[in-house]
Structures are given as C-alpha cells and as structure tokens.
Amino acid sequence: MSVSKSVWNTAPTSAPAQRGNRYTTGSAAHPAKMLPAIAAHAIRTYTQPGDLVLDPMCGIGTTLVEAVHLGRHAIGTEYESKWAKLARANLALATRQGVTGHATVTCTDARHLLTHIPPERHGTAALVITSPPYGPSVHGQVRSTRETGQRGVVKQHYRYSRDPHNLAHVSTDKLLDAFTQILTQCRTMLRPGGTAVVTTRPWRTRGELIDLPSAVLAAGQAAGLTPAERCVALLAGIRDSRLIARPSFFQMKNVRDARRAGIPLHLVQHEDVLVFTRHTQDLAGHPATSRPPRCSSRGQHPPRSTGGCRARRADDRRRR
C-alpha cells in the first residue's frame, strides 16, 4: 500500500520552552508526555477551528491543551486519576488564559471509551491523536548529587503508576490487542474522512530492535482504519541544516553503555507518526475483521501465524 511520507520539524525549541506557561508545574511528573509541537502540527494540519479532537490516552492533556489553544474542542480519556486530574488542571489554566476551545477529560479505561460519550457525538471527531504507553519504566528525570546531597544520580518521575492494569504494565501482545480495541472505538468516534494520528517508537531488548511502529500500523488496519501517511516528528532541532540532538540523560547513558558492549546503538531523535483515515464510505461503523497484530523485529514480517511478540520473554520490564 502506498502512503505518503514527510518529516515534521517539531523541535525548533526544547520541550520546556514549548510548554512555556501553558502547563501546570505538576505536569513534569508524567514520564512520557507528547512534545506540544507534535500535537499542534497535527491539529493544524488535519482540523479546522471549531472541530473536535479526541485523545483516548491523554496523560496530562497535551493534545487537549494544544487543541483548545488552536480554537478546537477536545475530549480526552485517561486511565490514571492523577494524570486525568492534571489534564483538567491544565485545561482550567488554558481557560484562565482565554482560550476559545472547550475540552472534557474522563478518567476511564479507553477500551470503554464509547460508553462515556453520548451517542449523538459519535462520528463527529475530525481528529484522533494519541500515543500508547511505552512500558512501565521510561526515562523520567534525574537529579544530581549537587541537587539532592545524596551520592550518585537520583532517578524520578519514570513510572506511569504501579497499577498492573495500566496498559504500560501488560505484555506487548496484550498492549496491541487493547490498542486495537481502543482504535476501533476511535474509528466510531471519527467522522467519515476523519484522521487518526498515532505517535510511537521502537525500542530495544538486549540490543534487538522491536518494531512497535509496524505493529501499531497493523493495529490501525485491524481496527478498520486506512493508512494514509507515515511521518517522522523530529525531537532534534535543525540549525544551519544540521540536526541538533536533545537527548535525555538516560538516552545518552543507554547509548554509551550499548557501545561499550559492542552494540552500535544510535540516539533516536524522532517519533514515528502513523496517520490513518476513516474511509469516507465507512458509514455503518461495521466491526473490524482483521486479526490483532503481533510485534516483530524491524525488517521482518509480524509472526501472525505463531502469534506472540519476539520481545515477550524479556518483555516489558523495560520497553525503552
């Protein structure tokens, strides 16, 4: 299937600079927030003012905040009450700053998304934009000996929660099954011709690259969505035609450790962006027919016949 490809220049400034005064200070505690410019670029590209944007896994509400600042309306769901509360606080801040868009956040499992949205709003969203969780332990933030008075570097804010039912904490195959269910509900929420944008990343387990983006692409198709574009959203800046990397402490450490062990790892400075559409003829919202996807190493076909992700054993103690 031919899909168009492009690169989004989404990190001309750092994440803290992009967040500016639009987010409450507590928001820093979320370990895997979307870069605001990625959300803003997608919203500007695929919607018009007054349109409805949906994020079924909205974390602290980056996509919703960017939507209301651009005059769109938004609906978000989030499993963890502490992140849903922060998303509401960020939207209240946006209201105080005078935005015209309106947004709501419901704390729920997004697999039951449709039961929380009145039927008359089904089929009305112009854009779904979301990012699945990347495993129980993500990079988080570090504090140095100078800041803490303790020996060595202290890692903080690197977990979504300790709830085993959070999709960050299930096996990759279960995550993909659940994400297919969530995208199926999102398809019902989209208006015909509407767009779904999913940002995701591959990760390594013992040096082996696990191709989550391709598995998410298959999840979208299994949910009845049509792949339209495959893009790259830069996490690096561009200066004088050169990429300026903005790695976290742990990204640098992981790369250095891998290279010391003889693995030629490179810094990943982009998100994979998968863009789908709901077909204009898709009026009845018939159920998806394909089998849920499975994950594989990059460059290989997903092992559908045998099932199971190659990373499942070492799996998901650490997806990044």
Binding site for ligand SAM (CB under 6 A): 30, 32-34, 57-60, 62-63, 77-80, 83, 109-111, 131, 133, 160, 166-168
Radius of gyration of the chain (CA): 19
Report the nearest approach of ligand SAM to the CB of residue 82 (Å): 9
Strands 226-234 and 4-8 turn out to be parallel
Minimum CB–partner distance for residue 175 and ligand SAM (Å): 9
Closest approach of Cβ 26 to ligand SAM, in Å?
12
Which tokens go with 17?
């600079």
In DSSP terms, 297 is beta-bridged to: 210
Convert 9-29 to b/e letters by CB count within 10 Å (16 or more is b): ebbeeebeebbeebbbeebbb
Task: Tell me whether strands 125-130 and 190-200 are parallel, antiparallel or unpaired.
Answer: parallel
- Minimum CB distance to ligand SAM, residue 168 (Å): 6
User: Please, which residue, 62 or 296, has the CB nearer to ligand SAM?
Assistant: 62
Task: Pick between residue 33 and residue 294 the one whose CB is nearest to ligand SAM.
Answer: 33
Closest distance of CB 170 from ligand SAM, Å: 9
Cβ atoms within 10 Å of 147's Cβ, excluding its own: 10
Nearest residue to ligand SAM, by Cβ distance, number only: 59
Nearest distance in Å: CB 132, ligand SAM: 6
Whole-angstrom distance, CA of residue 27 vs CA of residue 30: 6
CA atoms of 61 and 269, how far apart (whole Å): 23
**Cβ nearer to ligand SAM, comparing 133 with 220:** 133
Q: Which is nearer to ligand SAM, 161 or 226 (CB)?
A: 161
Residue closer to ligand SAM (CB basis): 78 or 316: 78
Alpha-helical regions (H) of 70-211: 81-96, 145-148, 172-189
The per-type count for the chain, helices as H runs and strands as E runs, is 8, 14
Nearest CB to ligand SAM, comparing residues 101 and 133: 133
What tokens appear for 211 in the block?
């191709």
